[in-house]
Amino acid sequence: MIRLFKSVLLLSGIVAFLLSTSYAQQTEFVGSWKGKINVGVELPVVLHIKIEEGKYSATLDSPDQNAYDIKVDEITTEGKKITLVMESIGGKYEGTLSEDSKKISGTIFQGGASFPLELSLTETKEEIVDEIAYESLWQGKLSISGVELRLVFKIYKSEDKLQVHLDSPDQGAKNIKGDVDYYNKDSVKFTFTQINGRYEGKFENENTIIGKWYQAALNLDLVLGKVDKVVEVKRPQEPQPPYPYKEEEVKFKNEKADITLDGTLTIPEGSAQFPAVVMVSGSGPQDRDENILNHKPFKVIADYLTRNGIAVLRYDDRGVGKSEGDFGKAISTDFANDAIAAVEYLASRTDVIDANKIGIAGHSEGGMIAPMAANRSESVSFIILLAGPGTTGEQILIDQSRLILEASGVSKSYIDKQEKLIIKIYEVIKSEKDDSIATEKISLYFDDFTAQLTDEEKSEFESDMAGFKQRIPMLLSPWFRYFVAYDPAGELEKIKIPVLALNGSNDLQVPADVNMEGIKAALEKAGNKNHKLIKLEGLNHLFQASETGSPVEYAKIEETFSPEALKIIRDWILEITSR
């Protein structure tokens, strides 16, 4: 999904404010893990991994040798891979976490020897907390740049001391451990070191706490009400096993980047060679399901298409999940090479894939990457643009900011002032290559912008503005510099293969009309005779049936991906691959 900028002041997007991908990955290895090393005799070992002050810590037990609490001196993780160093015994362990996060398969090295060691999860943080009898539950809605996210604070006792867990149901996050600094008849304070956040509030009455959530530069109002239970987020479209098709975890190499990417290939039942689609995610680090706000659109799409005779490959972005690489250093052209590597892998699978019928379906920025990849690979026979851009990155962000602010009820005066700021900032990003000079110019423009705001505007957008200057490095990152200046017309004007472009009429991130006009004009200039553009009424950027299209609705809507859009995609692929 193209990064959501409700205003240029926030920049961090919906999920980055609290949990981001890093937290989800950071907790994957937490728990107690048991295994056996065969050194002629079997020696049981137990690895205990926890998080302290936001970082992993661990100890190792070897019960048969009466050795306990062996310190793990160094822990590094990259996606699903973990490396442990135990200096006191001259040992090192390298392992990879399974897809279901219940096993670590690897090798332990010691004294010049190496032994296989598979560890099985025996006790997880989730299993422990599920047994807790919570004394009270407090729920509130955090409004951050027009996006509402529920937070739930769960109070319990451990060793006669009050403790707290934090859930963010709309982000699919549970049981973030925190500390109760105080909890008395007048006020409360909870601290969550792992995510650099805290909550401070005062009791209005026995069922209501008035307070604020603090995280990094954010300072946001948060009213908590006492509740009996946490309402679970429903995602009725998410497929559940057993599946009526084959599912394989696969690896493929991007030779140009010298990285291996990890994904899931779903193959229809039968012995035929099937048409196939590579799914390419939008911007920001995405896993193979393009997981956003507890929705898994790529998993839903893959399930639907595979049930209908179309193979689908979806993969973790570089540096995410089990895929190698550094996401933060990559730009869109790098992601295009990743997509090409996925296509080439499918073309090699002649046992199940028809190498002449492989396409790319890209969502949002993925719809910008798909034409890039198609123009660089003869193995791509069609592309599907899902909310793909047809205007420059700069124009998309300007339009996006205005539309979302308008949908949030922000005054025209503020929107106009901010748009002038955005245009100035983007001009600096495009023209000034020196980061230090660019930072100075952007800071001056921002100071001038804030000076023009009314007291009411300053108060309303205080949390957005608080950490703006800390976010300037992100504005000057290679990806952002590339995206702002990029015009998709250059690639679209070269596309001769069949194209399906779908956009939602309620899309506030990649507005349908102007971007579809851009796509249409570019394809016509290319002389492309086989393209189909459809605007789907009422669908938002995630292709959910929506009321307004505002990102506020994303998490609240139970639908993950429109059945109408799924049917159009299926019918079009089957039509063009049957010729």
Tokens encoding 512: 């349908």
List strand residue ranges (DSSP E) for 42-124, in order.
Answer: 42-52, 55-62, 67-71, 74-78, 81-86, 91-97, 103-110, 113-123
* pLDDT per residue as tens digits for the range 347-360: 999 999 999 999 99
pLDDT of residue 126: 44
Q: What is the mean pLDDT of residues 288-302?
A: 93
CA distances from 484 to 12, 157, 393, 431, 488 (A): 16, 50, 4, 11, 11
* pLDDT per residue as tens digits for the range 364-388: 999 999 999 999 999 999 999 999 9
pLDDT of residue 177: 83
Q: What is the mean pLDDT of residues 378-406?
A: 95
Say yes or no to pLDDT of 342 above 90: yes
pLDDT of residue 112: 72
Tokens encoding 350: 């002649």
Strands 31-38 and 136-144: unpaired
Say yes or no to pLDDT of 427 above 90: yes
Tokens encoding 204: 């209005």
From the list 152, 150, 153, the residue with the least C-alpha distance to 170 is 150
pLDDT of residue 145: 57
Ordered DSSP codes for 487-529: -THHHHTT--S-EEEEEETT-SSS-HHHHHHHHHHHHHHTT--
Domains defined along the chain, listed by start: 31-123 (2.40.128.120), 127-227 (2.40.128.120), 245-391+488-577 (3.40.50.1820), 394-483 (no CATH)
pLDDT of residue 144: 67
Say yes or no to pLDDT of 222 above 60: yes
* pLDDT per residue as tens digits for the range 164-214: 999 888 766 778 888 999 999 899 999 988 777 899 999 999 999 999 998
Say yes or no to pLDDT of 396 above 60: yes
Comparison of pLDDT for 2 and 442, the residue scoring more: 442
pLDDT of residue 2: 47
Q: What is the mean pLDDT of residues 316-327?
A: 90
* pLDDT per residue as tens digits for the range 22-77: 444 456 788 889 999 887 778 889 998 887 655 678 888 887 776 777 889 888 88
pLDDT of residue 237: 97
- Rounded to 5 degrees, φ, ψ at 130 are -65, -20
* pLDDT per residue as tens digits for the range 503-554: 999 999 999 999 999 999 999 999 999 999 999 999 999 999 999 998 878 8
Average pLDDT for the chain: 88
